[in-house]
Every structure is written in C-alpha cells, then in structure tokens.
Structure 1
Amino acid sequence: MLMTELMMVDAFTDRPFHGNPAAVCFLDAFPGDAWMQQAAMEMQQSETAFLCQEGPDYRLRWFTPDVEVDLCGHATLAAAHALWETDRVPLQSEIRFHTRSGLLTARRQEDWIRLDFPSEPVVPMECPPGLAEALGTAEIGFTGTNRMDLLVEVADEETVRRLKPDYALLSAIPVRGVLVTARSDSSGTDFVSRCFFPRLGIPEDPVTGSAHCALAPYWASKLGKRIFTAKQCSAREGTLRIELTETRMLLYGQAVTVLKGNLLPPPRR
C-alpha cells in the first residue's frame, strides 16, 4: 500500500515546539473533501495543508479540524518549508501556490521565508454587542472588520496578554476570528496580538499569518511606517516580519520540521 507522506512543521519560529504547528500532506491528486476534513480532524492542529502539484505550481488547501478556510499564513509557510526540505522544489526557486485566496508565492531569503499575501485592511465598525464581555475587558478602543475578521485595539500590551476570553460568547460574533492588538511595550517590536477563532474550532491560534493581512495595514496608518516586527503573544509565541506594498503584504517567517511520517492513503475516487 502506497502511503501518503506527511510532515509536521512549527511555523514562525526557529525553535521546535514554539510558533504555530501545521501538518503538511503531499497528495498526487485531491481526494474528496470529506477525507481531507477527516485527516485534518485526526491531525488536531489548527491547520492542515494539503498540497498537490499542478505543472510547475502547487494547488494548496487548508483545513482546520472543523472546516476548510480561505487563507492561512502559517500553514502556507509550513508548506513552502516542506517543499524545499524534501527537495521537491530547488532552494533558489520561487513556489507558486494556487488557493481560494488567489495566487500566493514563497521565496527563501537566507534563513527566512517570504510569503506574498494580499493586504486586507479593516474598515471601522461599532463595537459588537457582547464583545467586551466575551473578551473579559472593558478596555476596547477601535473595532473594525474586513471580509474575514474583527480587529480590536486595546489599551496596551499587558491587556492583550492577560485576556481570558469566554469562547462560547466569542463564537457568537459572526466573523472568522477576533484579532486583539496593541502597540508593543518592547523595543524592537512594533505591535502585539492574540487571535481567537472559536467558530473554526480553534479557541486561540498560536501564530496567525493571515491575521496580519489586517493587522499590518491597520498599524501602518497609526504608526506611519510600512515595515514592522510583530509578536503574537500566545503561549507558544511567534515573531513575524512584515513589509507592506500598495496592495500586498510581504510576510517573513522561519520554520522547523518536528516530525516526518506517513498517513494511510485516501480512497480512490
């Protein structure tokens, strides 16, 4: 029986067991969605990336344990790392991913991987009813939304770090995720965040690349700069470097492999 190759990669970190873990599954052809959803449920990671080569490019899909999602940064970083590490793509070559959010690319720059992602600015909105109670803080300043997430600015980094959300209440807010952010108190870091996705079956995501598609343009308007270092303050914590262009976001991260193995193959369609 020909098995399906699988890797576990910690993304947005250079140390094992930090950053955000993602499973990467290499496929010869995409099976039915039900099998990929079941495989992602078995992996029990915030995201599992499924890769299938199409000519010189790759089709990439992302599944949480509960649903397929439109955009995922850390699993894209993990997928690029896995393709280079397994010699499927030469180290000096760009990787082109075709996804539900359009074409995404990845390039190596020394020990870092650069992802080219869309910029997804938020527009202001009134604070949703119940948000303060759901987050467990009354220190809410700005709230805004884009096509995916709700962005919330709070008073300071300490407020971000001490949040203890009520996930049942938070999941009632009709957005993909809730991104809570503040200016950093540390030199060398511009802003911090924590990201909650209970509606996707992910109470708190350790490090969320796609969230920075909203966070970076928001902080660009407040700080008057377009190049940032950001930190996501989860228990595993991760660091991201970001450069904004007019319509895109260059997201830099590191990754490390922590496991290689095989998965039972999907059924033939």
Structure 2
Amino acid sequence: MEHSCSYQYYDVFSSRGTGGNGALVIEDQGLSRDAKQKIATGAKLSETVFVKKNDGVFSMEFYTPVEEVALCGHGTLAGLHFIKEHWGIVLDRVQTKGGAVEAVHEEGLFYIHLGKARLVKELVDGEGLNEALGVPWEDLFLEGMSPRIYATGISDIICPVRSKEILDRITVDRDCMKRISRKLGVVGCHIFTMAEPGVIHVRNFAPLYGIDEESATGTSNNSVITYLREKEGRLGEKGIIHQGQGSLKGLLRFRILADKIFIGGEVAKIDKIFEI
C-alpha cells in the first residue's frame, strides 16, 4: 500500500469459512476523503472500512468503489473484529456517520443493532420495479406484504416475492435499476421471501453504487426483519438469513434482544495483499 496503515481483509457472514461478503478494514491515520475513495476504488470490494481511534473513542467510515455510504452492516462487523484483534478491545458501541451502533459479543460472534428501520414509502405503482427485476408485478407480493422503501441508516427498496423459485430466477436490468434507485434516492433493491418460519432467503442488487449483486448485507436485512416483525406471528426471536446465489452467498443470523434486532454471523480473517 502507498500508505503505512495497518489493514486486514475479512469475509463477513461466511459459513464455516466459505462465502460471505468481503470487506477491507484499514486503520485511518488521518487519510483524506479523496485518499480513502481512491483506496476503496482500487480495492474493488463492496465495502472498504476505515477505523479511527480518537481519545479512546472508535469510529468507522464506509466506502464503496463509487462513493461513501453512511452505514454498512457487514463493514461494521469486520471493523469490530479488526479492533478486537488490533487493539484487544471488545466494543459494545461504535460511532458511524449513520449513528451509533450497539454491539454484543457472544460465543466468538459479534451481533450488531443497527437501529429500527424506518418506513419511508409504499411503492403503490411499482415505479417500474417489475421490469428491472424481470418478473410480473403480481409476483412482488408475499402474504399481504408489498414493495416498500425502508431506511436503516441508508435507504433500500425492500421487495417481497411469492416464492424462492421466483427469487432464484430474477435477472436484474442494471440500467433500469440504476434509474429507479437514482429517482427514489435508494442504494438498491433487497428482495426476500420466507419459505418457513425463521428462515429467510434474500438477494440484493445495488448497481448504482457499483455492486451488481451483494452476497450479504446487514442494513438491508435489518429492514426485512423490521418489516416481517410488523406482521404478527411472521417471525420468532431468532433465525437465519440465506443471501445470494452461486459463489455470492452469505449466511446471517439474527436475534431479538430486549425488543431490538441484532444481526451477526461468522467473520473469517483472510490473508490477502492489496497493492493500492
């Protein structure tokens, strides 16, 4: 690296060390915003995390290959592991531009509370979403649930589909999804279905931010869990989320503690050298 900063690569929400969503975590020793964006663009990962320690207080910033975002779930988990390994500190709270994030550490896993997702808008007319996903509009419903925009630090379209078969065959029109995302002011679209209680299947697309398909996302799944909890009896106190397809797969776990949603999962430390 051009900068003499400590860094580490992690696969977050992996399953037995495979799959998950990659994040590069870097100790921020006074890097400029332009320098951070240059590093994130060169890393070519969905998120690059910059961790800063100032007077004993830790904060994180998150950059996609295209631009900075206020909050990132898998990036926060990677950052918490980096702090634990680099400074020997197990945090129960960390600052981000999307707000303070609570954390608990149990049996070697961090779980984070990203706050309650806020309903922004019901997508009554669809905004062309069915065309972007390549499925009929009538398939974008699940037992009384329809597409909505939720915000968990960042905004996403949260879109139910009738079955896992429909979820699996979705092929996104990138240009169409970019136009919709730009118009609605969202990062992307998070599509979900639930085949059995406590087991959720999801896919995530954010081409506007240079992410064709995301293998594991904390913020978007926090919104899904919030949506499902609004439906009486749709969700228990814990469960799992399977995200992605093929090599782009992640396994997330969620727990409800004191009426708060906590999302966690395995974080695998991977030795990689980044020439940036």
TM-score range for the pair, normalised by the shorter chain length: 0.7 to 0.9
- Give the letter aligned to residue 116 of structure 2: S
Offset from partner CA, 1:1-51 (integer Å, 9 cap, x none) = 97111111000114444100000011222x221110000001000000001
- The 2-side partners of 1:224 and 1:105 are apart by 22
- Give the letter aligned to residue 89 of structure 1: G
**Residue 136 to residue 38, structure 1, CA distance change in 2 (3 Å):** same
* 1:137 corresponding residue in structure 2: 135
- The 1-side partners of 2:17 and 2:147 are apart by 35
- The 2-side partners of 1:229 and 1:127 are apart by 31
* 1:166 corresponding residue in structure 2: 173
Output aligned runs, 1:52-67, within 5 Å: 52-67=52-67
TM-score with structure 2 setting the length: 0.86
Conservation of the 8 A alpha-carbon contact between 1:121 and 1:218 = no
- The 2-side partners of 1:85 and 1:165 are apart by 39
- The 2-side partners of 1:232 and 1:184 are apart by 13
Instruction: Out of 103-112 and 47-56, give the one that drifted further.
Output: 103-112
Offset from partner CA, 1:148-191 (integer Å, 9 cap, x none) = 01111111112112211111111111321101111135xx7521
* 2:263 corresponding residue in structure 1: 251
- The 1-side partners of 2:171 and 2:211 are apart by 15
- The 1-side partners of 2:52 and 2:275 are apart by 15
Distance apart, 1:127 and its partner CA: 3.7
Measured on the aligned residues, the alpha-carbon RMSD in Å equals 2.2
**Residue 14 to residue 85, structure 1, CA distance change in 2 (3 Å):** farther
Distance apart, 1:249 and its partner CA: 2.1
Distance apart, 1:140 and its partner CA: 1.3
Output aligned runs, 1:46-195, within 5 Å: 46-86=46-86, 88-90=87-89, 93-122=90-119, 123-138=121-136, 139-141=139-141, 142-147=146-151, 148-173=155-180, 174=184, 175-184=186-195, 189-195=198-204
Offset from partner CA, 1:120-144 (integer Å, 9 cap, x none) = 1435331433211110111112111
- The 2-side partners of 1:80 and 1:260 are apart by 19
Conservation of the 8 A alpha-carbon contact between 2:132 and 2:172 = yes
Gaps of 5+ in 1: 265-269
**Residue 219 to residue 183, structure 1, CA distance change in 2 (3 Å):** same
Q: Pick one of 220, 224, 243 that aligns with 2:229.
A: 220
* Percent of aligned positions that are identical: 24
Gaps of 5+ in 2: none
* 1:207 corresponding residue in structure 2: 216
Larger relative helix fraction: 2
**Residue 224 to residue 59, structure 1, CA distance change in 2 (3 Å):** closer
Conservation of the 8 A alpha-carbon contact between 1:24 and 1:50 = yes
Secondary structure of residue in 2 paired with 1:243? strand
* 1:267 corresponding residue in structure 2: none
- Give the letter aligned to residue 79 of structure 2: A
Conservation of the 8 A alpha-carbon contact between 1:118 and 1:247 = no
Distance apart, 1:263 and its partner CA: 6.4
Conservation of the 8 A alpha-carbon contact between 1:47 and 1:65 = yes
- Give the letter aligned to residue 143 of structure 1: P
- The 1-side partners of 2:244 and 2:172 are apart by 14
Offset from partner CA, 1:102-134 (integer Å, 9 cap, x none) = 111333211321112112143533143321111
- The 1-side partners of 2:176 and 2:222 are apart by 25
- The 2-side partners of 1:50 and 1:250 are apart by 22
- Give the letter aligned to residue 167 of structure 1: R
Secondary structure of residue in 1 paired with 2:252? strand
Conservation of the 8 A alpha-carbon contact between 2:255 and 2:261 = yes
* Runs of 4+ off more than 6 Å: none
- The 2-side partners of 1:44 and 1:95 are apart by 30
Conservation of the 8 A alpha-carbon contact between 2:10 and 2:24 = yes
Matched, 1:230 2:241: yes
